[in-house]
Amino acid sequence: MKAELVKLEAVLWVARWEHKTQALSQIFGSPRAACYCLGAVILVLNCVRSHCFTEAMKSQPKLEGWDCHWTYYSGLTISAVGTLFVISSFLALGFTGTFLGDYFGILMEEKVTSFPFSILDNPMYWGSTAIYLGWSLMHASPAGLLLTAVVAISYTIAVLYEGPFTEEIYRRKQKGEKSKALSGVPRASLVPTLSDLPIFLRCILLINPATLNEPTAALEVTRGTA
């Protein structure tokens, strides 16, 4: 469990450090290249974790009561569902969306709401957990179940740290887009025209209806009546 938490803390620390300094982007030449490198490191670490998980199950005794066809196929079904969640999440997010691309400034246009995100939040994490759970049942391994719990706890911690930070990144993005949109609006479109005046005020000012869509001419009429 300690090794899993150290790996989690290291990955999140590197991602946040990159978000603050853009150091990795400068080293690798671009944010996308840096994200690909971090993603490759995460994949290698996941492979090492899976190997250690398997070796731990092999080295520990099986639970005899679970060493049957029913438990095996139940685990196989759970692993298949978990694999479906992981693969569909990756296809929906892409490589950079899966491997912390938002920390590198590689943001998605909008929040993904398609399957499997329409079913549950963080399907990549819980899909991986389901794979380990199913794997443990297939091998009738109490040690595997214990390690699956460790994986679930690690992902829960990741969600608690990563979720609010990611939401803040996209909140700033939306705020910046709104400011940019307002700055691009011509000032004239923000100033009320005489056609916006109530009818009784038009009559008082003796405004010619033909000048309602001509702000300059209408302004001259207003000055003349003043």
Listed by start position, the domains of the chain span: 2-183, 192-221
Other beta carbons within 10 Å of 96? 19
Whether the model pTM is above 0.75: no
Annotated binding site: 80-82, 162-163
| pLDDT (0 to 100) of residue 154 | 87
User: Cβ(143)–Cβ(57) under 8 Å?
Assistant: yes
| pLDDT (0 to 100) of residue 41 | 92
Between CA 16 and CA 8 the distance in angstroms is: 12
> pLDDT (tens digit, 0 to 9) for every residue of the chain, 226 residues total?
555 656 666 787 888 888 889 999 999 999 999 999 999 999 998 898 899 899 989 899 998 888 889 999 999 999 999 999 999 999 999 999 999 888 898 988 877 888 998 999 899 999 999 999 999 999 999 999 999 999 999 889 888 888 787 777 778 777 766 666 656 555 555 445 555 555 545 555 554 545 444 444 444 444 444 4
Between CA 201 and CA 218 the distance in angstroms is: 13
Annotated binding site for S-adenosyl-L-methionine: 80-82, 162-163
Long-range contacts of residues 42-48, Cβ cutoff 8 Å, at least 24 apart: 42/11, 42/99, 45/7, 45/11
| pLDDT (0 to 100) of residue 73 | 96
Look at residues 104, 128, 149, 107 and name the one whose alpha carbon lies nearest to residue 50: 128
Tokens of 43: 């994949």
Between CA 97 and CA 91 the distance in angstroms is: 10
| pLDDT (0 to 100) of residue 185 | 54
Look at residues 167, 170, 135 and name the one whose alpha carbon lies nearest to residue 151: 135
Between CA 14 and CA 33 the distance in angstroms is: 15
